[in-house]
Amino acid sequence: MQVKKVVDTPAIPHVEQAGDALAAYIARHPKLWVITGAGVSTDSGIPDYRDAAGQWKRSPPVQHGDFMASNSVRKRYWARALVGFKALSEAQVSGAHRALAALEAMGYVELLVTQNVDRLHQRAGSRRVIDLHGRADLVKCMGCGYQLMRHAMHAEMARMNPEFAALNAQHAPDGDADLETDFNAFQVMDCPRCGGILKPDVVYYGDVVPPARRIAAEAGLSRAQGVLCVGTSLMVFSGYRFCRAAHEAGLPLASLSLGVTRADALLSHQWRAPLTPVLERAVHVLEDHHHGTPWRLPSET
């Protein structure tokens, strides 16, 4: 497949040009398989992990094995989450979330796979969504499978740890906080049914995406006419694998983000530009077309 890239840098965003080209891509490939990442939620006030070059901005998140094996790691995790989870629980949907929901409502989205755990796509109105890495608002016992909503667990741990609940710190990605103190006194809530380890229903680093979720995403990809990556560096293999499969199947791949992606060599279209205004411009162009306004399909270049 011939690679044809449209590149807009953050320094020269050319929002209208990128939005028109994105609209043309969507119109030509109307059954889109969309994958989103942290960049979609930064306008909602949720920090991301990586910079425009795809490098870590901070220490990598907790590893699954460490969380399960170490009580001290769990103490540190939950104490910081008690402070930082407000960034997720109080986040509001962004223009990017709303624009993607609008594209689905117009019939352009076959499936949206998100690597985010904030459930903001659903709150914005998207219905065909797979939470690839799970959801942060739900907690599950790793022993017996008992589930509870995370706000209930936080309320109980705030009652158990009033001195920690009163602390403040800068919010970090995925409900974490930049809090460093002595965590030994923190009391972690255990499963009320079996006493097992409670963990957010999220795929941590070192863990694997549940097979049923991966298979459902692959099935959506098999029905799609094109792929659109939004706000993701695709550095995590669980997301990148789908782009590699799409490329091998001959599907066009497009990316809208502010930086590089792991799939740059596979892309047929690429726009390095601000997400929300470009998506909103594309939706506006496509809505005009749906409402009967004469429209000459804009050039993708």
Can you spell out the DSSP letters for 194-238? T---EEEEE--BTS---HHHHHHHHHHHHH-SEEEEES----SHH
Pairing of strands 226-230, 253-257: parallel
Structure tokens at 213: 């979720």
The residues, ordered by sequence, that sit 6+ positions from 180 with a Cβ below 8 Å of its Cβ are: none
User: Sign (positive/negative) of CA torsion 189, 193, 194, 197?
Assistant: negative
Q: Could you identify the residue written with the tokens 């490098």?
A: 55
Q: Could you identify the residue written with the tokens 């939004």?
A: 230
Distance of CA 183 to the CA centre of its chain: 29
Closest alpha carbon to 184 in 200, 155, 198, 164: 164
Question: Tell me, what's the pLDDT at 31?
Answer: 96
**Does the annotation list 194 as a binding residue?**
yes
Angle CA(94)–CA(96)–CA(97) in degrees, nearest 5?
Answer: 70
Question: Tell me, what's the pLDDT at 178?
Answer: 72
Question: Tell me, what's the pLDDT at 49?
Answer: 56
Question: Tell me, what's the pLDDT at 119?
Answer: 96
Structure tokens at 273: 């530009």
Q: Where exactly are the structural domains of the chain?
A: 15-290
Structure tokens at 107: 């019939």
The residues, ordered by sequence, that sit 6+ positions from 131 with a Cβ below 8 Å of its Cβ are: 114, 116, 117, 119, 213
Query: Which DSSP letter does residue 63 get?
Result: B
Walk across the sheet containing 147-149 and list its strands. 147-149, 134-141, 198-202
**Does the annotation list 141 as a binding residue?**
yes
Question: Tell me, what's the pLDDT at 201?
Answer: 96
Question: Tell me, what's the pLDDT at 79?
Answer: 92
CA distance 43 to 283: 18
Q: Which CATH superfamily is domain 15-290 in?
A: TPP-binding domain (3.40.50.1220)
Strand partners, 129: 112
Helix, strand or coil for residue 293? Answer: coil
Give the count of beta carbons closer than 10 Å to the beta carbon of residue 194.
Answer: 13
CA distance 91 to 264: 30
Give the count of beta carbons closer than 10 Å to the beta carbon of residue 250.
Answer: 7
Catalytic residues: 133
CA distance 59 to 201: 21
Residue 180 and residue 164 in contact, taking contact as beta carbons nearer than 8 Å: no
CA distance 63 to 50: 17
Question: Tell me, what's the pLDDT at 10?
Answer: 45
**Does the annotation list 229 as a binding residue?**
no
Write out the chain's pLDDT in tens, 301 residues: 444 554 444 444 489 999 999 999 999 999 999 999 999 999 898 866 544 554 544 566 789 999 999 999 999 999 999 888 887 778 899 999 999 999 999 999 999 999 999 999 999 999 999 999 999 999 999 999 999 999 999 999 999 999 998 887 676 556 666 788 899 999 999 999 999 999 999 999 889 999 999 999 999 999 999 999 999 999 999 999 999 999 999 999 999 999 899 999 999 999 999 999 999 999 999 998 776 655 555 555 4
